[in-house]
Structure 1
Amino acid sequence: MKVKAAVISEINQAYRFETLNLAELKDDEVRVKIVATGICHSDDALRLGHAGFPFPAVLGHEGSGIVEKVGSAVKHVQAGDHVVLAYAYCHHCEHCSEGIPAACQDWLELNWGSVHSDGSPFFTRDDGSVVNNFFHQSSFASHTNVKESNVIKVSKDLDLRLLGPLSCGLMTGVGTVINGLKARPGSSIAIFGTGAVGLAAMMAAKISGCSTIIAVDIHDARLELAKELGATHIINSKNSDAAELIREITQQKGVNYSVDTTGVTVVMKTALDVLAIRGVTAPIAVTNQELTINTLTDLALSSKNMIGVLMGSSVPQLSIPKMLEFFKAGQFPFDKLIKMYDFDDINQASADSLSGKTIKPVLIVDKDYRV
């Protein structure tokens, strides 16, 4: 099948549109016509060479669309279903069996593997050369083949153009606070970076009942939006000492939790430094920067914890419907973060995301879609 796809051929190149051949559907796969897809910071990180992904490739992992065809082993979706696409997992390893598919034993192979486990490609050019897949999804394409585990079925009365970002950036932010940090009512939290992930984490902190919610960024417009969405305090760290102000806000105690979404070394260290005794920080950005800590003075003496949280430790088939419940109840207005772009304008959307001009770009791939 011929598909239109935005291809990255080399590190730090712009997206270029190509017509590719999409492989035949495997028994455990679902073919989806993409309606829309978010651009995630991870896509930009890969394109810029921060995460060591092999090119050429079709990126994109916040897709939403309509099922066109299913393989013979697929049981839970059928042609015509409306779906959101998240990460893939195996279903049967120890961690999947315990309900933590983000820790799937085969997670890297399934989501970072670029070709099928049997070595066959997802996409090829007419000359036979392989174009790699990402997240077993590659939603920067008009059509794609995904695992059944990638798929979350949603109601047909919901606008698919809004829903893609729920599957990565927003799920990561929400899940980090609810599943990873397990934030308690009445607690305090500082969130560094108010992009889509950070603002989702902040809204989850409000839903969780945190009484002190501190948003830190260098963009005033984003900080004002953070205040509108539930931050009790905002700090522009370009103009102020964030650590000093957080200590003032918390009467020198520090915060119970912090989340870093920037991946910047000095910011990750600040997120650790501002913790209260027994505080917990979660650095969750895709980054090529490193952090050096002293395990005695930075962790042990204050009983602090630093945790790794992948994809919000979320089960997408449970978390996405829950986020939609929050949205319908007015508790999670993620639509305020979204700006829509034509698929053909992917390079402008990517640039606007990197500059901070747009919080969450969403590419409209199927212009004929109507709710």
Structure 2
Amino acid sequence: MVTTATAAVVHEPQGTFTLQQVELDDLRPDEVLVRNQASGICHTDLVAQRMMTLPAVMGHEGAGVVEAVGRSVQRVRPGDRVIVSYPWCGACPQCMEGKPYYCSEHMPLGFGGTRLDGSGTMKHNGSQLSGAFFQQSSFATHSITPERDVVPVRDDCAAERLAALPCGVQTGAGSILNTFRVGARDSLVVFGAGGVGLSAVMAARLVGAAPLVVVDIIPERLELALELGATHVLDARNGPVAEQISEILPQGADYTYETSGNEQALEDAIASLKTGGQCGIVIAPHFGEKYPFSPTEVFKRAACLRGIIQGSSVPNTFLPRLLELNRAGRFPYERLIRTYAFEDINQAVEDFNVGRAIKPVLLMS
């Protein structure tokens, strides 16, 4: 079995990534060693650094080939192509009910930097790294991950398409199809035309949602939103957004979806709901910060304000569904992807931060 890997290590919050050789721990009986072919870059990879013990190896959208398996692994074997999705414990009431996205251990599994028992999966020069981010740390040539977190896929899909799926795209599409269960002619306003927001747009188009409004400040992204299915786009710089939305939806929207992490956007998302409408939130400006908004605005609309984790998706069924829709030309999320060589990770992060890349994906091989 491979015992070392090349990993992109970050030593301080929002610091530069440095490629370093790391040592891999032995596989546990229920674990899989994945040779990563690609990894998506997500907003969480950047903001979560302030929650982690550093140095750390980030990355939580891995895709690659199984190289080795623990003795108890049954679902995959060496040579299988897999996506590595979000972690779940498999033992809490929510996991046992088939809702792994509500796993009671999702915070330590995602952000603890170790296995749930506190042991590490990566070391550098004998010192433990936070090398189990989302139980994978996919900014590396190899990852150790629990069997339950891998999704077997067909061999005929490009690695960058696989690695773009397991967080942002899954969250955006799943929020529409699984959490909200938006239907034909339901109205939806999406705040933020990034990877999550535009994935929501594509999913909403699938089910015939209309009007389908997208709010952003980048003209090129608003144009892309129209191409992907939006019926209306609004530039937030052109005046009060809630007023612009009310001209399109005088009675308010059935659903609003805040993906930008902007405080004003949340206020506008709540203000733009119809009576009994739902507002979904998938991001905050920074972990731990508070949103200032008026509960009265929620109350007087009898609105539902809900946080959404991973689009309420069960990856083993939902990700193959999205891949089939993509093959059929009905969910063209490849239009969001921009690829980078692994060694160009810092350029990819810079492009992502300034809006040049919607969904950057690192290619390891």
Calculate the TM-score normalised by the size of structure 2: 0.96
Q: Runs (4+) of structure 1 moved beyond 6 Å?
A: none
1:216 Cα deviation (Å)? 0.5
Identity of aligned residues (%): 37
- Any residues of structure 2 matched to 1:253-292 within 5 Å, and which? 253-288=251-286, 289-292=289-292
Distance 1:230 1:188 in 2: 13
1:140 Cα deviation (Å)? 0.2
Report the 3-state secondary structure (helix = DSSP H, G, I; strand = E; otherwise coil) of the residue aligned with 1:4: strand
Is the Cα–Cα contact under 8 Å of residues 282 and 308 in structure 2 kept in the other structure? yes
1:9 Cα deviation (Å)? 0.8
Residue in 1 that maps onto 2:294: 294
1:258 Cα deviation (Å)? 0.6
What one-letter code is carried by the residue in structure 2 that aligns with 1:291?
Y
What one-letter code is carried by the residue in structure 2 that aligns with 1:265?
E
Say which is worse superposed, 29-38 or 153-162, in terms of deviation. Answer: 153-162
Residue in 2 that maps onto 1:58: 57
Is the Cα–Cα contact under 8 Å of residues 185 and 208 in structure 2 kept in the other structure? yes
1:83 is the counterpart of 2:85? no
Distance 1:195 1:294 in 2: 26
Residue in 1 that maps onto 2:41: 39
1:53 Cα deviation (Å)? 2.1
1:181 Cα deviation (Å)? 1.4
Distance 2:34 2:245 in 1: 46
**How large is the RMSD of aligned CA atoms in angstroms?**
1.2
Distance 1:131 1:41 in 2: 18
Is the Cα–Cα contact under 8 Å of residues 174 and 310 in structure 2 kept in the other structure? yes
Is the Cα–Cα contact under 8 Å of residues 123 and 130 in structure 1 kept in the other structure? yes
Residue in 1 that maps onto 2:21: 19
- Any residues of structure 2 matched to 1:187-266 within 5 Å, and which? 187-250=186-249, 252-266=250-264
Distance 2:342 2:309 in 1: 28
Distance 2:117 2:92 in 1: 19
Distance 1:7 1:171 in 2: 26
Report the 3-state secondary structure (helix = DSSP H, G, I; strand = E; otherwise coil) of the residue aligned with 1:302: coil
Distance 1:12 1:161 in 2: 24
Is the Cα–Cα contact under 8 Å of residues 61 and 139 in structure 1 kept in the other structure? yes
Is the Cα–Cα contact under 8 Å of residues 242 and 271 in structure 2 kept in the other structure? yes
Report the 3-state secondary structure (helix = DSSP H, G, I; strand = E; otherwise coil) of the residue aligned with 2:133: coil
Distance 2:277 2:69 in 1: 46
1:286 Cα deviation (Å)? 4.4
Residue in 2 that maps onto 1:369: none
Q: 1:23 to 1:270 in 2, by over 3 A?
A: same
Alignment deviations for residues 100-137 of structure 1 (CA, whole Å, 9 cap, x no partner): 10101222222222112332211111143434420001
Alignment deviations for residues 12-40 of structure 1 (CA, whole Å, 9 cap, x no partner): 21111111101111111000000001101
Q: 1:286 to 1:23 in 2, by over 3 A?
A: farther
1:224 Cα deviation (Å)? 0.4
Gaps (5+ residues) in structure 1? 367-371
Distance 2:294 2:234 in 1: 27
1:64 Cα deviation (Å)? 0.4
1:321 is the counterpart of 2:323? no
1:328 Cα deviation (Å)? 1.6
What one-letter code is carried by the residue in structure 1 that aligns with 2:38?
A
Is the Cα–Cα contact under 8 Å of residues 55 and 132 in structure 1 kept in the other structure? no
What one-letter code is carried by the residue in structure 2 that aligns with 1:274?
S
Report the 3-state secondary structure (helix = DSSP H, G, I; strand = E; otherwise coil) of the residue aligned with 2:329: coil
1:264 Cα deviation (Å)? 1.3
1:333 is the counterpart of 2:332? yes
Is the Cα–Cα contact under 8 Å of residues 48 and 111 in structure 2 kept in the other structure? no
1:254 Cα deviation (Å)? 1.1
Distance 2:182 2:343 in 1: 41
What one-letter code is carried by the residue in structure 1 that aligns with 2:252?
G
1:179 is the counterpart of 2:178? yes
Alignment deviations for residues 35-68 of structure 1 (CA, whole Å, 9 cap, x no partner): 0011011112124x3xx22211100011100000
Is the Cα–Cα contact under 8 Å of residues 32 and 144 in structure 2 kept in the other structure? yes
Distance 2:108 2:284 in 1: 18
Report the 3-state secondary structure (helix = DSSP H, G, I; strand = E; otherwise coil) of the residue aligned with 1:18: strand
1:290 Cα deviation (Å)? 2.2
Paired residues, number:
361
Distance 1:132 1:114 in 2: 6
Is the Cα–Cα contact under 8 Å of residues 54 and 132 in structure 1 kept in the other structure? no
What one-letter code is carried by the residue in structure 2 that aligns with 1:290?
K
Report the 3-state secondary structure (helix = DSSP H, G, I; strand = E; otherwise coil) of the residue aligned with 1:362: strand
Is the Cα–Cα contact under 8 Å of residues 87 and 135 in structure 1 kept in the other structure? yes
What one-letter code is carried by the residue in structure 1 that aligns with 2:221?
R
Calculate the TM-score normalised by the size of structure 1: 0.95
Is the Cα–Cα contact under 8 Å of residues 53 and 130 in structure 2 kept in the other structure? no
Report the 3-state secondary structure (helix = DSSP H, G, I; strand = E; otherwise coil) of the residue aligned with 1:135: helix
Is the Cα–Cα contact under 8 Å of residues 34 and 139 in structure 1 kept in the other structure? yes
Residue in 2 that maps onto 1:169: 168
Distance 2:14 2:104 in 1: 31
What one-letter code is carried by the residue in structure 2 that aligns with 1:209?
G
